[in-house]
Structure 1
Amino acid sequence: MAHLVLVETTPTAGFKIVQEAVALGHEVTFVAESLDPYLAAEGGEEAVRTPTRIRTGITTADPGSLREELERLHREHPVHGLLALSEGHLPAIAEAAHALGLPFESPETTKRLRNKHEVRLLLDDAGVPQPAFRQALTAEEAVAAAEELGYPVVVKPADGFGSVRVGVAETAGEVAELAEAVLATRVYGRGITGIGVVLLERYVPGPVVSCEMLTVDGAHHPYGCVDKMLSPPPYPVELGGCFPAELPDDVRDAVVDVCARALDAAGVRRGHTHTEVVLGPEGPAIIEINGRLIGGYVPTMMNHVLGRNVYHDVIDLALGGSPRPSAAHGVGCIRALTAPAAGVLAGIGADAARRGPGVAEVMLHARPGRRVRPARDNFDRLGFLITTGATAPEARAAAEAAHDRVEVRVTPEPEGREPEAPEGVVA
C-alpha cells in the first residue's frame, strides 16, 4: 500500500487519521518538532504508538528544514502523500509536497490562507460579503482603526489559529490590551512563529456556522454546515456545535454559495477547507477561511452521521484521488468540557455521561495536575463528548444532558496567579 506522512497534528484527536490510514493498510510516518505536546495529553503515549515510524527534532514550520527532512525520508521510504491537519504548518507542508511532486494545494494559495488580512483584501476585490476590516501594526494604530470601524470590534492576529488572542472589544482600552497581546505573540509553539500583525473587524451580530468543503480541481463540494456554540464575549471560544446545522434550506444554500465564492477568490483548488461564517442582518458574511479539515473531534462527530469516514477522504485526496461527500443521516452534536474556575485540574468524572442516552463517545485529553482556567481559547478545552439524534434538538438535548453529568474538579490556585494555556492542544 502507500506511505503517508503526517506533519504535526492536534493532540490527540489528530492521530485518528493515523489509525484509519494504518487500518486501510498504509504506512504512516509522523514528523514533529517534539513529541512533548502530544505526550502531555491524556492518551498521548498510546496515540504516538500508532504511526509506523516517527521522526522528531525537525523545525516543522520551516519550509527548508521540513523539505530537507521529507526528501531524506522519501529516499529511504518513498512517500506517496502528505497529511496536513495543523494550521500553522500548512505552508511548509505545501512547499514540501510541491518539491516532491505530491498532490496538495499550491504553496502560494496555502501561504495566502495563513494571512487573514491578505485574504480579506481578495474577498473585498471579489465582492464577497464580509465584515469591514483594518490592519494594524501597533496598539495605537489598532485603536485608531477601531474608532474608524465603530465598536464593538473583533481583535485577532492576522495569522492566528485556535482562537488564540482573539477577543471582542467595546472600548479603546480593551482594543489596546488585546492588540498588545497579539503584537507580543511571536511564538505559537511547535515551531510556529507569529508575524505580529493585528487584524480588526467590525463585530457582526448573529449566529456563527462553518461550512465544511472538499475541493477537487477547483470544484467545491460541501459536506454541510456546523453550527457553533460560542462562549460569551470577550473570548469567543467554540464550545460545541451540531452537524448538519439546523438551517432553512435557503440560508444553507446562501452559506454554501458565499463560501464557494470565497474559496474561488482565495484561489483554492484542492483540499479540505473549514470556512467560518456569521449569519448577520444582511446575510452570510465570511469570518475566515482555514485551509484544512475542521479540527479536533468534529470530524469524528461528522463520521457518526455521514455513514462514511471523513479521514478516508483526506487520505484519498492526499494520494491523488477525487473523493466526494455523502449525505448525512441524523444529526451529531459535540460539546467541549472546560474548567469552571482557574486552578489545578484534580480530575474529570465522566462515567455518568458515557452512560447517557444518545452518547456516542466521550474523549478526555487533559491530565490531572495540569493548570487550567475557564476557556479563553481552544487550548483550554479539556475534552469532548459526542451525541447523535434523529434531529438537531434531540442531539443537542442529549449533549447538554451528558455535559451536565460531567464533573470537572479543580483545586483553586493561590489568588492572583493565572494559568497559561498549554502548548500544542489547539484544534
Structure 2
Amino acid sequence: MARALIQLGGTVMGSSLLYVQAAQRLGLQPITLSADPTRYDHFAAKGAETIRVDIDDLDALIRECSRLRATYDIAGITSARDAFYATAGKLCRHFDLPGPNPEAIEQCLDKHTQRQLLASSGVPIPAYRLAANVAEVKVSAAEIGLPVIVKPAAGSGSVGVRLCRTADEVVEHTNYLLGGQFMWQSAPKLLVEEFAQGPHYMADIIGNEVIGIGTLDFGPPPHFVYHGCTYPALLSDDEHERIADVSLSCLRALGLGWGPTGIEFRWTKRGPVVIEVNPRLHGAPTPQLLHLAYGVDLITAHIKVAIGEEWNLRKRHSQTAAARFLIADRDGTLDWIDGDSQALAVSGVAEVKFYVEPKAPIVRKGDYRDCLGHVIAASSSLRRTEAILQRAVDLIHWSITP
C-alpha cells in the first residue's frame, strides 16, 4: 500500500508546490484536499492528487481521510497555511498521527490571545489594545499614542494592516475595516498597537531549534508590502543570541515547539520586540532562501516531523541568499509581463517566479497581493547578491493598462 501525505489547502505564492515536490522525493504520494483546487499552482504537479472537499468541515475531512485509508497508508497530515493548520492537528489527533496541538495553534492565530500569552510570560511586545468599534479604536490610539498600527485580530500577509499617523487616519482605516468592504473570516475584532520602529527580522524554527534569522524589508508606509528578504541577517553574536532567546520564550509562552514556527521582530530601543508568531513556516520564498543560504531543507524537515521520522537540520554551507519582490505600480489590467528567462540566465539567480498571468486584473490592496512575483539569488557576499538581484530585476518588465 502506497504511503501518502495529505495537505490541507494551498498557497498562491508557491509553498504548497514545494511540499508536493518534497513529499514525492520522500516516496510519498501527495494528496491535497481543497475547497477550490483551481486557485493554486501546485495541483498541476505531475503525480499529485487533488480532491475537492470543504476544508472548514472537520467531519467531511474525517470522512474523506477515512475513505483514502482504504487505498493509502496515510503517513501524515499537514498544511502550509496557518488557517488550516489547527484543523490538520485535529485530524492528526483523530487518526493517531504526529501533529501539532490544535488548541495551541488556535490561540496563536488569535493575535489578541497571542499578545496576552506573550505579555503574561514577559516576552517583549508592542503596547496593544483590543477594540470592536470606532470609539474604542480612537480611545485605544490616544492611550497608546500616535502613530499606531490598526489591524484585524486574525489574518496574515499584512491584509488589513495600516500605519495610522493621525486621528483622522485611525478613523478612516477603522471605518474601512468595519464598513463592509473588508472581508472578515470571523467576527470582527481589531487590534490597535504601538508602532515598534526599527529593523525587521524573521526567525525560522523547527521544533525548538532556531535555524536561521533573516531580514524583511517593506515598501513605504502606511502599508506593509513585502519588498525583499535576506538570509542571514547581519547581526552580532549578542544580537543573534537575544533574538534566539526571545524566540524560544515565545514557544514556551504559546505552547508551541512541535514542528515549524515563524516569528517576526522589530529591533527597537528595547532590543527585539515580537511583532507576531506564526505556527508554521514563513511562506515562499523563505524556504528556498534558507536552502540556498545554509543547505537546510525546512519543508522536507517539516514533512519528516509530520510522518514521525528523524529530520536533519545540519547546515552544509554558508551563503547570502536574498529575494526581491516585483510590486505592481498601478491598478488596471496586466497586459504582459516578461524577462523571466533573461533574468534567470543571470549568474547567481536561483529562481524567477511570476504569480500572475497576462490579462489578470490588478487591484492593489497594500498587502502581499500587490506582489507580481519574485527573484531569488545567492552568492558568497551580501553586496554581490544584491548586485545580482538588481541586474536580474532590471531585465523584467510589465505593462498595466489603467
Q: Same fold (TM over 0.5)?
A: yes
Moved segments of 4+, more than 6 Å? none
Q: Secondary structure of the residue that 1:80 maps to in structure 2?
A: strand
Corresponding residue SS for 1:344: strand
Aligned to 1:298: 286
Contact 1:339 1:375 (C-alpha < 8 Å) held by counterparts: no
Q: 1:248 and 1:374, CA in 2 relative to 1: closer, same or farther beyond 3 A? A: farther
CA RMSD in angstroms, aligned pairs only: 1.8
Tell me the equivalent position of 2:169.
174
Query: CA 1:30–1:164 in structure 2 vs 1: closer, same or farther (change >3 Å)?
Result: same
Q: Is the 1:358–1:388 contact (alpha carbons within 8 Å) kept by the matching residues of 2?
A: yes
The unaligned stretches of length 5 or more in structure 2 are: none
Structure 1: any 5+ residue segments left out of the alignment?
A: 39-43, 413-427
Q: Which residue of 1 aligns with 2:126?
A: 131
Task: Give 1:348 shift.
Answer: 1.4
Equivalent residue number for residue 415 of structure 1: none
Match of 1:9 in 2: 10
2:198 maps to 206
User: Shift of the alpha carbon at 1:288?
Assistant: 0.4
Deviations 1:142-163, CA, capped at 9 Å, x for gaps: 1111111101111111111111
The secondary structure found in structure 1 opposite 2:80 is: coil
Pairwise CA distance, 1:286: 0.3
Instruction: Name the amino acid aligned to 2:124.
Output: P
Q: 1:258 aligns with which of 241, 246, 251?
A: 246
Please state if 1:348 is matched with 2:348.
no
Q: 2:231 aligns with which of 218, 225, 243?
A: 243
Shift of 1:182: 3.3
| Contact in 2 for aligned 1:246/1:392 (Cα 8 Å) | no
Identical-residue share of aligned pairs (%): 28
3-state SS of the aligned residue for 2:54? coil
| Correspondence for 1:409 | 399
Specify the alignment match of 2:348 in structure 1. 358
Distance 1:51 1:169 in 2: 48
Tell me the alpha carbon deviations over residues 176-231 of structure 1, each in whole angstroms, 9 at most, x when there is no partner. 2322333347746xxxx23311111100110101100011xxxx101111201101
Match of 2:388 in 1: 398
Distance 1:302 1:103, change over 3 A: same
The match for 2:371 among 381, 387, 396 is: 381
| Alignment equivalent of 1:101, drawn from 93, 96, 102 | 96
* Distance 1:147-1:348 versus aligned 2 partners, 3 A rule: same
Deviates more, 1:17-26 or 1:371-380: 371-380
- The residue that corresponds to 1:78 in the other structure is 73
The answer as to whether partners of 1:226 and 1:242 remain within 8 angstroms in 2 is: yes
Give the secondary structure class of the aligned counterpart of 2:105.
helix
Question: Would the aligned equivalents of 1:221 and 1:324 in 2 still touch at CA under 8 Å?
Answer: no
How much does 1:132 deviate?
Answer: 0.4
1:177 partner amino acid: E
Asked if the contact 2:43/2:50 (under 8 Å) is kept, the reply is: no
Query: Secondary structure of the residue that 1:293 maps to in structure 2?
Result: coil
Separation in 2, partners of 1:225, 1:75? 43
Distance 1:178 1:111, change over 3 A: same
- Say whether the 8 Å CA contact 2:78–2:89 is kept in structure 1: no
C-alpha spacing 1:185/1:21, structure 2 compared with 1 (3 Å)? farther
Alignment partner, residue 261 of structure 2: 273
Partners of 1:112 and 1:118 lie apart in 2 by 6
Offset from partner CA, 1:4-63 (integer Å, 9 cap, x none): 00111212512121012113211111100011312xxxxx3x74343532110x221343
How many Å apart are 1:246 and its aligned residue? 1.6
Tell me how far apart the structure 2 counterparts of residues 348 and 358 of structure 1 sit (CA, whole Å).
22
1:21 equivalenced with 2:23 (yes/no): yes
Equivalent residues, number: 397
Amino acid at match of 1:355: A
* Contact map agreement 1:237 1:375 (CA 8 A) in 2: no
Q: What are the equivalent positions in structure 2 for 1:132-151 lying under 5 Å apart?
A: 132-151=127-146
Select the residue among 286, 307, 312 that pairs with 2:300.
312
1:352 deviates by 3.1
Give the one of 37, 40, 50 matched to 1:35. Answer: 37
Contact 1:185 1:196 in 2 (8 A): no
> Would the aligned equivalents of 1:122 and 1:266 in 2 still touch at CA under 8 Å?
yes
What CA distance in whole angstroms lies between the structure 2 residues aligned with 1:233 and 1:308? 33
The one of 33, 39, 44 equivalent to 1:48 is: 44
Instruction: Tell me, yes or no, if the aligned pair for 2:206 and 2:257 is still in contact at 8 Å.
Output: no
Contact 1:347 1:368 (C-alpha < 8 Å) held by counterparts: yes
Contact kept? 1:156, 1:199, Cα under 8 Å: yes
SS of corresponding position for 2:73:
coil
TM-superposed deviation, 1:373: 4.1
Q: Relative to structure 1, is the Cα distance of residues 380 and 161 closer, same or farther in structure 2, using a 3 angstrom cutoff?
A: same
The 1-side partners of 2:123 and 2:310 are apart by 27
Q: Deviations over 1:313-340 (max 9, x none)?
A: 1110111134242335111101111112
